[in-house]
Amino acid sequence: MKYALIILLSTLNASAMGQIKFKLYAYSPCSEKVTKIESFGLKKNGLTLAIADTSGVLLLKDTGRYTLLYAMEKIDSTQLRREYYVSAVECFSDTLKLISIDACLEPTSHPNFIGYCCCEKKCQGTQIDFYENGNKRIEGFFKEGIPIGQLKFYYPNGKLKMIKDYSKKGRLKNIKYADHLNPEARF
């Protein structure tokens, strides 16, 4: 009851001021936690709107269609350009999925490490990351963050985009693009 009252008062406060509170959250498949995204930008009618502080709240002056331009988190690019239709003065929020496999560089390690990290650690063994829609994004086998064998990249629709072939020592041998084999792969 206490939380419902806080949410109701927050919504009434935003309505009284004629502003819409827009918040973005990030879901981490690594930690299975949801956190507030403190910096992001939306676009409406050619105008870019950004958070002026680290509150994670973007105050919108009116209703309409907004497009997500950026979010200062590790999200896959398919989540950018997401459209939001805000039709009433209220609190509005969405949750974006963070990626779990990412190319990484550790310049402070000796020797410097360049490879792939899974959940902020060097990838080890067979790893698969998924787009927000559930389709595969990256799939491969890693040893201490270095890909071994085939590292496969996929389009958001689940079709194969590219295969990078690595030697047993993790040296890139070849790159095969699915578009060259199948021009319809993107669609």
Q: Residue 36: give the domain boundaries.
A: 2-97
Same domain, 109 and 70: no
Higher pLDDT, 138 or 14: 138
Whole-number Å distance between alpha carbons of 185 and 142: 26
Q: Single out the residue in 97, 118, 139 at which a domain terminates.
A: 97
Do 89 and 144 share a structural domain?
no
The predicted pLDDT at position 162 comes to 95
Question: Which residue, 116, 102, 123, is CA-closest to 172?
Answer: 116
State how far the Cα of 138 lies from the Cα of 19, in Å rounded to an integer: 40
Into how many domains does the chain fold?
A: 2
Per-residue pLDDT tens over the stretch 71-87:
989 888 888 889 999 88
Q: Is pLDDT above 90 for 55?
A: no
Q: What is the CATH number of the domain that holds 34?
A: 2.60.40
Decide if 116 is inside a domain: yes
pTM confidence score: 0.76
Report the SS3 class of residue 78: helix
Q: Which residue has the higher pLDDT, 1 or 35?
A: 35
How far apart CA 34 and CA 17 sit, in angstroms, is 28
Asked whether residue 186 is domain-assigned, the answer is: no
Cα separation, 157 vs 80, whole angstroms: 16
Average pLDDT (42-63) is 91
